[in-house]
Amino acid sequence: MTVGEPLPHPHLLLQLDVLRDKALAADSLNALAFSMANDPYQLLPYHQALVFASHDRSQELLAVSGLARPTEDSPYLVWLKCASRWVAEQVPAEEPVWLSLESSAPPEDIGQGWHEWWPAGLWCIPIQDGETRLGMLLLLMDEPPPAMLRQQIGGLARTWAYCWRTLTRRKRLGHKHLNRRNLLLGAMIALGILLIPVRQTALAPAQIVSRQAQIISSPIDGVIAQIHVRPNQPIAAGTLLLSLDETTLRSRSEVLSKEVAVADAELLAASQRAFDNPQSKNELTLLEGRAQQRRAELAAVQAQLRRTQVLAPRAGVAVFSDPNDWLGKPVVTGERIMQVADPAQPAMQIQLAVADAIALEPGAEVTLFLTAYPLNPLKGKILETSYQARPSEEGVVAYRLLASVEDQPEHARLGLHGTAKLYSGRVMLGYYLLRRPLATLRAWSGW
């Protein structure tokens, strides 16, 4: 400022100070652009303010005064993309420029939009970082700004440029820091975690069974007449377990008894006639064979009658379903009806699904969490594994495993169900987590 020039009004300086403080308080480029578009209105009334960010030869609209977020597909903003490029060409230097419709002579398409949307002139304030154009503030006005404001706006523009550069650099450095160092560090940490050795485990349904259990099956074809024991009832050796219906066999036995009596009578009569009639001697052999046949048939039926009473072969506990489900049910020879199990030798019977199968050897550790006693798990080791997977009662193809129960706990009662956790060798955490996805991908792709 030279000697003789009027001093700026204190109120103007205070307003400029307030605008600088608001610019310095902005925490993002969008917040700074919003302040540039709306806060100068108290200093210089205008119709509209537009803030653009310069990218090579294109201009990006950041803020419009009075709008929180402009609608990008409006006709005005579509025209504004072309008009902003033309305006940027009219402001080559660092100093603000006043453009009017009459003096600037814009192209026809831009001039038509100017007539429709803009007032008589616009004040273009470039935001410069040295020789680099950061952005541009356009104030749409009817008249040029006062000369005193033109002299003082340069300091405010430099404050805007400083804040703009700082916020842009912070964002760029933040992205660079995130995209390189942090991502590299995160990848290394993730790789290190995936290489941590962990024990490979699998979960499978299981139940408590007896290692010494004998199957009780039907000795003959027939119909179950009565079950003499209850499920889970302790029994001694020789206890009557069940009876088969004897009606048919007893009728057959009575008929054969009478046939045996008839055959014996015929044989006796032929023997008496053989003394006087030589022809009767020839019938003795035939009648004797027929009598022996009837006796053999009667003995076979009587043997079957004795087998209708099924006795317990050993002491233990009767394991079977509801007795009412068996009464009157036809059974065939060898059909399983119940088990006689020794409760003093419990074991875990595990159904390991094929999809969850892991490498297990006899002696591998097992922990069984019973549904009835979830806080008292049972420990054990694998005793045997099936060679071939078969469908279970739930229809899931699974391997059958048998494991011991250590320490003979009291709550290891036959028939209890739970979930068994099987332990195998140590593998990397990455393999542990990706084993099933990799197996599925390999099955799907054939790789």
CA distance 433 to 426: 13
CA distance 334 to 339: 13
Q: Residue 366 has what pLDDT?
A: 94
pLDDT tens readout for residues 174-224:
555 556 777 888 889 988 888 899 888 999 999 998 888 888 888 888 899
Chain-wide mean pLDDT for the chain?
A: 84
Read off the pLDDT band of 74 (50, 70, 90).
Answer: confident
Percent of residues, the chain, with pLDDT higher than 70: 92
Contact 387, 400 (CB under 8 A): no
Contact 149, 43 (CB under 8 A): yes
Q: Where are the domains of the chain?
A: 10-178, 202-210+345-445, 212-236+311-337, 246-307
Q: Are strands 316-319 and 346-353 parallel, antiparallel or unpaired?
A: unpaired
Q: Residue 7 has what pLDDT?
A: 59
For residue 358, is pLDDT > 90?
no
Indicate the pTM of the whole model.
0.51
Read off the pLDDT band of 170 (50, 70, 90).
Answer: low
Q: Residue 367 has what pLDDT?
A: 94
Q: Residue 365 has what pLDDT?
A: 92
- How many separate helices (H) and strands (E) can be counted in the chain? 10, 20
Q: Residue 419 has what pLDDT?
A: 94
Residue entry with tokens 């450095």 = 173
Average pLDDT over residues 83-111: 85
Average pLDDT over residues 417-436: 88
CA distance 23 to 299: 115
Q: How many residues comprise the chain?
A: 447
Name the fold adopted by 202-210+345-445: Elongation Factor Tu (Ef-tu); domain 3 (2.40.30)
Read off the pLDDT band of 276 (50, 70, 90).
Answer: low
Task: Please give the residue that has the higher pLDDT: either 8 or 245.
Answer: 245
pLDDT tens readout for residues 380-399:
999 998 888 888 877 888 99
Two domains, one topology: 10-178 and 202-210+345-445: no
For residue 315, is pLDDT > 60?
yes
CA distance 43 to 51: 17
Q: Residue 380 has what pLDDT?
A: 93
Task: Please give the residue that has the higher pLDDT: either 330 or 11.
Answer: 330
For residue 355, is pLDDT > 90?
no
Contact 164, 129 (CB under 8 A): yes
For residue 283, is pLDDT > 50?
yes
Half-sphere exposure of 280 (CA within 13 A, CB side): 12
For residue 2, is pLDDT > 50?
no
For residue 280, is pLDDT > 80?
no
Q: Residue 292 has what pLDDT?
A: 86
- Domain 10-178 indexed as CATH 1.10.390.10: no
Q: Residue 350 has what pLDDT?
A: 93
Most confident residue range from 164-168, 247-251, 319-323, 420-424:
420-424
For residue 3, is pLDDT > 50?
no
Q: How far is CA 85 from CA 52, 58, 80, 386, in A?
A: 10, 6, 9, 78
Structure token digits, residue 31:
């917040």
Q: How far is CA 388 from CA 20, 42, 352, 354, in A?
A: 81, 86, 12, 10
Q: Residue 356 has what pLDDT?
A: 84
pLDDT tens readout for residues 107-119:
888 888 888 888 9
